[in-house]
Structure 1
């Protein structure tokens, strides 16, 4: 995405300056003079304005709505300025003295637009039937980002299938490489919800465990899947159960300074409390299964990483090591 964002910045580099300049001239300015003031060839400024104008149009079926109060003008038969196409325009004029308020944002930065584009692409992958969203993603990619394809994230097609199964309340057979324990398993699950997280796409699914908890599967761990013609009933308290399953447990850890990224990889949130030559003390918000996640975190972080609080998690690294050794026949 970084290359696409840089391309966006280049393609709209002089538009903010043009808008600021036009604010000072309510009667408008010749395009040639605007280009001269900005130190850019007129042809390049016209190209940037065209990209900006196209990106700012919202399709609503038969009606096109333009949110930016920018006019393209040219002398008419009577000599007076009249609205025209950008190709024939000679003058630019704002119809409002606060164009950035009119836009609704203080002109999105390249990084902000990149984040927006990625989020919209991933949401579109989870909602394949949302034609309005797909059209918006396509317009953003072709007009501003220079032809980027909004294909969604890794394994978006699998996530879309699971999302469809959740909507229709159909069971799915999974071949799944477990994230927190070794081995590949096959399960028939009841998908309740599919979400996009910092780890990629995830599916919260039943049936419930013996203790009443639900399972969360990383879509990246799915080796094969089949949507079955077997329906299930989504519990009335499904949303409450999902919220409970995604409630963060605070865990205080010390890790080497060059291993803080490991905590960020396995935790939902990270807050640094103190840092010195002996390591960095952080409070990590960890989701269930907490013991498995913390054990794997410590195993990856290596020597010098340990749990400070709560005490019952201090042996999770040894537990994870024993489990891995047993799985590979090395115990």
Structure 2
């Protein structure tokens, strides 16, 4: 039985795919898949990923572009990847440092993949990989170790926590249940007495905590969540946001869970619906995405964005004091 290929193999395939397709405009997808040694389905997934790859700026003219006409594909803009890439010394060293850092991250579930990728890059980097660069994450590791020890100690915690969705810091008492790793991040799952529900708290967002004398006592209803598909679990009671997005913002559908995707007109624009935990979070996200994303609803979110945009324009029009 053959398992999925490591991500590093896919990265190498993607880097070579653009120059391969440039040399074969209009090639059949089935033929390209056979040459690359992958299924046609996998190649189409690779092409969808290439569509949102490119140079910093990620605007028109920065991203790889192509024409996928039925069963044939042609690269129309290569974003500078016109030949198989070879890492410079600085790039190789940066990758070595990043992978060493990832390998040092506590609880990383794909350590074997990381070590294989690191071995390949160190081999390609030659003597440069022997540079005296040591990577440690003492702050993150120390905090995670302290949280784990507190959870194992079986006491309730008084903690200060930053909630990114609402951009606020709160103080709360929680009854810890466990520490889990999800998508490379450490979370403490606990019964939150303030919310009267089970919550997942990112360890790196716990600003401070104190162990209380009383024991951790989650109620019988506090059941650990299934985090196989991630921490965020959209439910019908959460706000539903509808967006019209252009090609260069399709990454949203890969990064965030969406409920529906509908292509409009020629298919260049997609109408996407997604649940969000908080409209304030959605407001901050969408204000940073630029004109390639248009908010369709709900009306409250549109009003929030208009008001903040108008306030920003007022600041620009006001004379400097």
Q: Same fold (TM over 0.5)?
A: no
TM-score (norm 2): 0.43
TM-score (norm 1): 0.42
Higher Rg: 1
